[in-house]
Amino acid sequence: MQIINKILEIETDDNIGIYNVTPQIKDLLAETGIKNGQVLVSSRHTTTALTINEYEIRLLEDIKAYLRKLAPENEQYLHNDLHLRVVPPDEPINAHSHLMAMTMGNSEVIPIVEGKLGLGTWQSVLFLELDGPRKRTLSVQLMGI
């Protein structure tokens, strides 16, 4: 049984952006030689998220619009009253980003089957930047035999 922990670095280029990280995860899997097991991909931030869906450029815009509708940036949020909190000088105004992140979810677990990611034809692993642009890190744990 191998259990291998890797960190992926992603420099995002948008305030809300969606990135296909499937190729990087496939590369990490190929390096391990694991044939049967799981990959656990985790966000290491509270304003990024992971989901599995179709990487289609127009759908990505629909996802962003949907998240903005669910958790609008300009609503009143207690977390955004920085003068009532103890915060560093560069603290962002980002309650909506936290809510978006929790709605989409913090991690994905993908089966490894016959040495490959057990994803369907249209499925990709998508990393969501919800308060960028920033340098972000993603945890990828590969476990199996």
Q: Minimal distance in Å, beta carbon 15 to a second copy?
A: 18
Helix axes 57-70, 95-104, angle to 10 degrees: 120
Nearer to a second copy, 15 or 52 (CB): 52
Q: Minimal distance in Å, beta carbon 102 to a second copy?
A: 5
3 state SS of 13: coil
Q: Which helix (H) or strand (E) holds 128?
A: strand 124-129
Nearer to a second copy, 15 or 51 (CB): 51
C-alpha–C-alpha distance, residues 111 and 39, integer Å: 6
Nearer to a second copy, 27 or 66 (CB): 66
Q: Minimal distance in Å, beta carbon 27 to a second copy?
A: 19
Nearer to a second copy, 13 or 86 (CB): 86
> Which value, to the nearest 10 degrees, does the dihedral of the CA atoms of residues 63, 131, 10, 127 take?
-30
Q: Minimal distance in Å, beta carbon 13 to a second copy?
A: 20
Note the residues at the interface with a second copy (CB under 8 A): 1, 3, 5, 36-38, 40, 42-46, 51-54, 56, 58-59, 61-63, 66, 70-71, 77-79, 81, 84-85, 95, 98-99, 101-111, 113, 118-120, 122-123, 137, 139, 141, 143-145
For 115: left if phi > 0, alpha if psi spans -120 to 50, otherwise beta; the answer is left
C-alpha–C-alpha distance, residues 46 and 142, integer Å: 22
Nearer to a second copy, 9 or 84 (CB): 84
Q: Minimal distance in Å, beta carbon 65 to a second copy?
A: 8
CB 12 within 8 A of CB 138: no
